[in-house]
Amino acid sequence: MSSRVGGRAVSGADTDRSPVSDADVCVVGAGPAGALVASRLAARGRRVVVLEAGPRFDPADRPQQMERSIGPVDGRGDIWGMGGDRDAYASTGDRFYPLNANRVKGVGGTTLHWQGMVYRLHEKDFEMDSRYGLADDWPIGYDDLRPYYAEAERELGVSGADDNPFGPPREEPYPLPAFPPSYSDSIFAEACEELEIATHSAPNARNSEPADGRSACVGYGTCQPVCPSGAKYDATVHVERAEEAGARVIDRAPVQRLAHDASGERLEAAVYATPDGVEHRQEADAFVLAAGGVEIPRLLLLSESEEHPDGLANRSGAVGRYFTEHLFAGAGGTIDRETRQNHVGFMTSESHQFYDHEEPVPGSIKLEFLNYAGPSPVEMALTGDTFGDELLADLREAYGNHLAVGALVEQLPRWENRITLDDSRTDDHGNPVPEIRWSVGDHARRTIERANEIQVAILEALDAEIEWVVGPDDTGPAAHHVGTTRMGTDPDESVVDPALRTHDLENCWIASSSVFVTGGALNPTLTIAALALKGAEHVDEWL
């Protein structure tokens, strides 16, 4: 029978989790990258099996999950079942890294609770060394990914408008119209006009109108941690398409290690465990690792052998290295007018005016006008200790005049920021847990300081009472895991080639933000999707 962990798992111990015979492709991970790869290859007639560490959640539970998410007791981890020995990790760097705060293990992956912001990286993000003498250039450029970006926008059903004067060139409109600016966006627009800051719409992987069998966004405002209506894209869309095309998705099947042939040049099987405690070998002609920027390097390191004593695909020593994030900068407070806070659970306006910088420092800033500043009425009602008329009075006094400006800030990849194995603690299968060593760096600090200057200026132009500022000393990560199996042409300095195939293993590809060379300051999911589509094409050509 199935068991409830957060949302209800719809498959249990009696589900058939035996290996698939004669598989062409084994995909590890059923998040957006793995789902897109599986869907694309299955549609082309390939026999595909997907191994997912977490459960398959029942979409019928989403309204209940939404209700629990806004209650005073349950947290995001409880909604999606994160935590415990299965998800244990260590953080030993200069900054504590809250890994489990923003990830999900399950069919659909982290898109089950993501905010849904989707962007193409700017051209300069692929050319950081050439332009600024910082970090390294990618071995591919924006033009190489441009057709895959367009395809990814169609697959995810992106709502947007071609009104960003600072964005990279586009060849066609977004699939769906942009969401209109929110009420608080109009307030920010006044200050931005005064300060000569251009604003524009923010592309969203959520339906602005009914499409693809899913409703338009109905404004629940709980995008993180759950969209009850299904208007926001999540990877179960492509999991279902993959299954309809013949793929098999095995949930609760965490891969323990990858096994190679006698030569050490080719993978033979993914060894996975099932809830009954049995290990199975899933053999295939090709393997695609799509389990994210932490679990992919961990799996490669766990798969060490005589032929690969430092872990698989790690001739360069770069597996787990260059762990890169986006940093948050923000400022907020209150103004003496209505703002209609929390009417929208996602951003509808932003500015990339400070993204393509002329000098190396400060780096890229994506300025965000937050629609979810301050508490919602529901949050206040459920977490406070007043009732009836007293509660209504509290709501009238404390709700509706909050504003906040956020930003994602560029972090440069650093060799010392890395994912490795912590041999002092094991997970529920006896494997060393991932150890995260992460620090911020001077480049990011100076960029956060510049972002704060802009944010404070906007709030001051509105005569706001500034109540908080998140700066370089208290910044946090955006849960965008970038760079731990980087792409390159030199096998001694990178893990995968421009076709996303590992240099060291002829039948292993990686589809993940882990292959990014640099991360810019933009949410990575659209680039992940574009690379997954590109990688699926290369795998299909190889088979």
Residue 3: what pLDDT?
Answer: 31
- Helix, strand, coil fractions of the chain, as percent rounded to 5: 30, 20, 50
Does a cis peptide bond (omega within 30 degrees of 0) precede residue 168?
Answer: no
Determine the Cα–Cα distance for residues 481 and 290; give it in Å rounded to an integer: 12
pLDDT digits (tens, 9 = 90+) for 405-427: 999 999 999 999 999 999 999 99
Lowest mean pLDDT among 150-164, 266-280, 372-386: 372-386
Q: Which residue has the higher pLDDT, 226 or 302?
A: 302
Residue 12 in contact with residue 56, Cβ under 8 Å? no
pLDDT at residue 4, as a whole number:
31
Residue 296 has a pLDDT of: 98
Provide the pLDDT for residue 363: 97
Q: What is the average pLDDT value for the chain, to the nearest integer? A: 93
Q: Taking 50 as the threshold, does the pLDDT of residue 13 lie above it? A: yes
- As a whole number, mean pLDDT of residues 381-409 equals 84
- Bridge pairing between strands 25-28 and 48-51: parallel
Can you give the pTM of this predicted structure? 0.95
Is 1.10.10.350 the CATH classification of the domain at 4-542?
Answer: no
* Interval 11-17 mean pLDDT: 75
What's the longest Cα–Cα distance across the chain? 76
Instruction: Give pLDDT, residue 306.
Output: 96
Identify the weakest region by mean pLDDT among 4-13, 362-371, 389-398. Answer: 4-13
- Angle, vertex CA 255, rays to CA 98 and CA 414, nearest 5: 40
For 15-48, what is each residue's pLDDT tens digit?
899 999 999 999 999 999 999 999 999 999 999 9
What confidence score (pLDDT) does residue 379 get?
A: 74
pLDDT tens digit string along 45-89?
999 999 999 999 999 998 888 888 877 666 666 789 899 999 999
Q: Report d(CA 183, CA 341) in Å as an integer.
A: 9
> Of 5-19, 172-186, 358-372, 524-538, where does mean pLDDT reach its minimum?
5-19
Domain range list for the chain: 4-542
Residue 216 in 3-state DSSP? coil
C-alpha span between 172 and 177 (Å, rounded): 13
Percent of the chain at pLDDT exceeding 70: 96
Give yes or no for a contact between 25 and 287, defined as CB atoms under 8 angstroms apart. yes
pLDDT per position as a tens digit, 429-453 = 999 999 999 999 999 999 999 999 9
Token readout for 239 is 């999991």
First to last CA, the chain: 38
Measured on CA atoms in the order 179, 180, 184, 187, is the torsion positive or negative?
positive
User: How many CB atoms sit inside 10 A of residue 216's CB?
Assistant: 16
What does the pLDDT look like over 453-479, one tens digit per residue? 999 999 999 999 999 999 999 999 999
Which is more confident, 385 or 228? 228
DSSP codes joined into one string, 7-66: EEBS--TTS--PPPTT-SEEEE--SHHHHHHHHHHHHTT--EEEE-SSPPBPGGGHHHHH
Question: Under DSSP, is residue 257 helix (H, G, I), strand (E, B) or coil?
Answer: strand
Q: Is the pLDDT of residue 2 over 50?
A: no
Dist. CA 244–CA 242, nearest whole Å = 5
> Judging by DSSP bridges, how do beta strands 25-28 and 286-289 pair with one another?
parallel
Starting at the earlier edge strand, list the strands of the sheet with 327-334. Answer: 200-201, 349-351, 365-369, 402-409, 327-334, 465-470
Cα torsion 97, 122, 202, 525: sign: negative
pLDDT of residue 341: 83
